[in-house]
Homo-oligomer: A and B are copies of this chain.
Amino acid sequence: MTALKELADYVRETAMLQSVSAALEWDERTYMPPAAASYRAEQVTLLSGLIHQRKTSTVLAELLAAAEGDVVGSPPHEDDNTIVRQTRREFEKLTKVPQRLVEELTKNGMDGQQAWIEARKQRDFSMLQPYLERTILLLREKADAVGYESCVYDALLDDYEPGENTTRVAEVFSSLRDELVPLLQRVQSSDVKAPIEILRRHYPTKMQHEAGMLAADMIGFDFRRGRLDVTNHPFCTELGPHDCRITTRYDESFFSTAFFGTLHEAGHGIYEQGLRNDLYGLPPGQHVSMGIHESQSRLWENLVGRSRPFWQHFFPRLQRIFPEATEGTSAEQFFRAVNAVKPSLIRVEADEITYNLHIIIRFELEQELMNLSLDVADLPTAWNDRYEQVLGITPPHDGDGVLQDVHWSTANFGYFPTYTLGNLLAAQFFQQAEHDLGDLTQQISRGEFEPLRIWLRTQIHERGQCYTSAELVRLVTGQPLSIRPLLDGLVSKMNQVYGV
């Protein structure tokens, strides 16, 4: 057996343990009886320990050293080189963090999440504050341990968007904001209104499930290799190379929650299902970054699912499923309703324009927290000020403000920007697909989603981690990350919906 093969087998087995853990977490969030929670946490902790041991072991160090000999001089984007390079990268990052710090971060994250649940319920930020303060100290310590280019935040961002750096993202986001804010103002001052009330009619859960299954299947989520279930906070997860689980939640008096949620998660799922299954668990068969992952969900949710041709195709099917709720409406009205724009307090309910403003606020605040220019105690005030300044609204209480998201309580600083990176990437990829596929709009209006899905698979999914996200976007579109495709798309859509 070659050293490379030995390394690959080892990495694959570690991934298998991770997929076991994913199965436990899927169950926890879908079907697990309530009293089972504490033992489930122990099971997941046990597996995490085994996985961490394997990922930082001297056995792995030896396998890596030997395999590096095997790939000397091979092209960097080939599979073998990618397996060694990415495994080395993870090994170095993990072994630089002391075991004590790993455990403290895990513990503080678990306690922090519990505190967050209660703090949000009580709308009392002070209940979360001490955990957040501790998280920031621990994450700064972690950043120092792993090292960074120019600021602490670089090290955190790298966990979710490997190879990206804070300065570049800040520049992109800043120019994005400069264009989104005036676009939002033009929409708000338009006399035209989107008929959002048709989405607030009665949509029975059972029928919503049928519509979601139909749409997910239609765009190409493979139900022989996946499932759709109900949960509180929807997610997509992989339990194996042919086992992708997506989830949603139903609101009988609002159509969009489940429908676009399902398209979104199906988009993540189509990415996972498009990875190279023969390399499952190895870097060339794994998603490259959270931003790229998010680009796939946003592309199907927004660029396909909220497009006029999609509704031309889907509306007759929707009518058959919801004869009552769709009465007196049209494809065009649905297209306009699902693209309604209005500043609101809650990120996960935001429209395509303001969503990115929600993210930019968080991205700025978390940098300030991390470089200690903002005290945790002052975070709620800073949050509210920023919302007033950017979106013109102020949360009535912290539950709908600074406490709305789980991320910070679980120490996931550096995650938020990947959502807007995903929006930008989605638009940039979609524009290229339109160029490459010719009549994409026509295809969508005829319900032909396969050419697009195959394009995405070939261009993005099957490349796994052979390229960084920055390399990938250049390779696929010939350009670096750009705000133009997203903005051009939004300007055009706002013209169609609001006549601005």
Contact = CB atoms under 8 A, between A and B. Distances in A.
A27 interface: yes
A31 B32 CA distance: 13
A24 interface: yes
A23 B17 contact: no
Contacts of A224: 33-35
A274 to B, nearest CB: 14
Interface residues of A, number: 34
Contact of A46 (B13, B46, B222, B225): B13
Contact of A243 (B19, B36, B46, B240): B36
Interface in A20-72: 20, 23-24, 27, 31-36, 38-40, 42-43, 46-47
Interface in A454-491: none
A353 to B, nearest CB: 37
B34 A47 contact: no
Interface string A237-255: 0011111000000000000
Contact of A33 (B13, B47, B243, B280): B243
Given A20-B20, A27-B27, A225-B36, A43 B13 contact: no
A337 to B, nearest CB: 33
Contacts of A46: 13, 16-17, 20
Contact of A20 (B13, B43, B229, B243): B43
Nearest to A32: B243
A242 B33 contact: yes
Interface in A204-255: 222-227, 229, 239-243
A27 B17 contact: no
Nearest to A42: B16
B31 A43 contact: no
A35 B243 CA distance: 7
* Max chain B C-beta neighbours (<10 A), residue from A43, A223, A226: A43
Most buried by B among A23, A222, A226, A280: A23
Contact of A36 (B43, B229, B239): B239
Contacts of A36: 225, 239-240, 242-243
A43 B23 CA distance: 11
A179 to B, nearest CB: 43
Contacts of A27: 23, 27, 239
Interface in A102-139: none
Given A46-B13, A223-B33, A227-B33, A242 B20 contact: no
Nearest to A273: B35
A24 B20 contact: yes
A240 to B, nearest CB: 4
A342 B219 CA distance: 53
Contacts of A229: 31
Contacts of A40: 240, 243
A418 B35 CA distance: 31
Nearest to A47: B20
A229 B16 CA distance: 26
A240 B39 contact: yes
Nearest to A30: B31
A487 to B, nearest CB: 39
A43 B46 CA distance: 16
A32 B229 CA distance: 12
A225 B224 CA distance: 30
7 contacts: A20-B47, A23-B43, A27-B239, A33-B227, A36-B239, A38-B242, A40-B243
Which 9 A-B residue pairings sit nearest by Cβ, starting from the closest? A36-B243, A39-B240, A35-B242, A35-B225, A35-B224, A36-B242, A36-B240, A20-B43, A16-B46
Given A17-B46, A23-B24, 5 more contacts: A31-B31, A33-B223, A36-B225, A38-B242, A39-B280
